[in-house]
Structure 1
Amino acid sequence: MNLTLKKIAEIVSGQLYNTDGELIVSDVSTPEDATKDKICFIFDKKYYNNIKNINAAAIVVENFFADVDTPQIVVSDVQLAFVRLLNKIFLERQNFYKGIHQTVVLGKDVVLGNNVSIGPYCVIGDNVEIADNTVLVCQIFIGDNVKIGKNVVIYPNVTIRENVTIGNNVIIHSGSVIGSDGFGYIQRNGKHIKIPHIGKVVIEDDVEIGANVTIDRATIGSTLIKKGTKIDNLVHIAHNVEIGENVLLIAQVGIAGSSKIGDNTILAGQTGVTDHIKVGKNVIAGPRTGIVQDVEDNKIVWGTPPIPFEEQKKISVASKRLPRLLIEFSKLKSKVEQLEKLLLKFLK
């Protein structure tokens, strides 16, 4: 990266100590891997007692250490400072194709904003609108009547089917499919008859969609992902689902059709939600939770069916004692049977 400490302090909104700021650093490291050309962010207080021995070019901390000679950048929030610097490095390392590559296939009546970049082998359907500063990296399919907002980045091998709307500042990672057919059938005479899905997908601003995510279009109406939501890799969102604002969906979550997930909710890895379920706001569901009934606002749940987290923890701890308890129960049962025999003899 090759940045001076002065420039880094500017990026992270920090105050310099023990340096004129002209020292150049080339990378970011952990305290354990620090060297004299790297800067180190001190998140954990466990390093405070040994901070003098961190062999870094500079350290970023929330409080100045007067007895430490190492150059220091003091910030109000080390984690936020770390994210700001990484974002700077990340943006500099992005090397997208600039302009419209000669291999791109453009449909009829496509409208492109200012500074749009479309890389090799992308296919753009008819009546597509792509707003300013958006990047389609390469090998991307965009169906008819799709609208994509400003400052969007779409990585290779993404498919966006017809009639999808994507807001501003959205990131879609490789392999994801947006607007695929929903999974819906009716049964007649022992056969599965497909229900056509003619609805839309709407993705609002500031959403990030991980790799190999599938979001199905609605039967009618819209499948909706509201602003600020972040979706991890390998998540499936079925037709007519509504995801609230600032939701976190962790890897391998599956949400069945027409369910609604409230604002600020977190569904941990491999959680499943059955169809037509309502999960409230500010809910946290532990890993592998099976949500088969509505969950009220502000609940922390775990298990199948979901129960309060603390109760499920007790059940999990108790279940580990079951083998020993079964042995003890068997011994106790044997003793009771012996006592019953003795009692019968006594009564005779």
Structure 2
Amino acid sequence: MRIPVTDLKAETEPLRDELMAAVARVLDSGQFILGPEVDAFEAELAAAVGAAHAVGVSSGTDALLASLMALGVGPGDEVVTTPFTFFATAGAIARLGATPVFADIEPDTFNLDPDAAAAAITPRTRAVIAVNLFGRPADLPDAGGVPVVEDAAQSLGTGAPRGACATYSFFPAKVLGAFGDAGAVATGDADLADRVRLLRAHGARPKYVHAVVGGNFRIDAVQAALLRVKLPHLRDAIARRRQIAARYRAELPADVRPQADHPNHVYNYFVVRAPRRDDLRAALREAGIATAIYYPIPLHLQSCFADLGYRQGALPHAERAAGEVVALPCYPQLDEDRQARVIDAVRRFYGA
């Protein structure tokens, strides 16, 4: 039987009755936009992550976008961030007319190097975005008073939000996944939370009276209801991911080097550096084991950012990681026999 990188069907099947009841509850209520399900989810999420405020939005991308808008990022500004992350991190910056300024990563954590980030700050820097890549908390830079946004799209459950705010994604493959797109912003700053709430509804307060130009960033009530079913299981799901990661670390051959561990790592993905990566992937595919590459091209080398002037070799740690990393199957329903299949297949490839 094929082993996927993640198995959403296996994850949701035990909760099927509760999930269907949540959908029925929303249908019966007739309240599909915001309302009591969203209010309840926001309160439960804030409690779960240890934040004073949580604001549900339409996606992790829009969580970043709304956060930057709330912080006043706009044309002429710079935002310092990592080149080794999902596109949305830099895309949100560019969509506001600001300039992404890429600083290199730490080779062991794959996260933004805080010293490199601090060195990249200029008088035009309006914010810094640090990404907790694959679920490992990043070390936040000393930004000298510049707001730091914690892109926690892959790291729900690592602890309370740090910096100005944390942004979450509930894309289905995340540690806490919705049934479509959804996201949230969590913060201890009441004014920032209020600004995000205003922006997510076209900047209107009251309805049809627009204080600012916002967007349609609202989370759907049905997604909030479904996430409320899954949220109580988050702690156990993370514990299971950590167990699998610990076994991989103990039994995979020394040829592969996992991302540096951290006590609060939630292992949204288990990622290693692998010599002859593409050959390894082919061998695992032949053995019925899926893998994935997050991410094959660092953002500073994407063609849409060519006008920023980065060239091959500008950020060597990110470039090297993009050529070496591979994600192995890691999800709560991955049983011990299938874990052993993954480990044995990797060991066979390297002759261990």
Q: Please state which structure has a larger fraction of its residues in helix.
A: 2
Could you say which structure has the larger radius of gyration?
1
Bigger fraction of residues in strand: 1
* TM over 0.5, shorter chain: no
Q: Which has the higher contact order (CA 8 A, sep 6+)?
A: 2
Bucket of the pairwise TM-score, normalised by the shorter protein: under 0.3
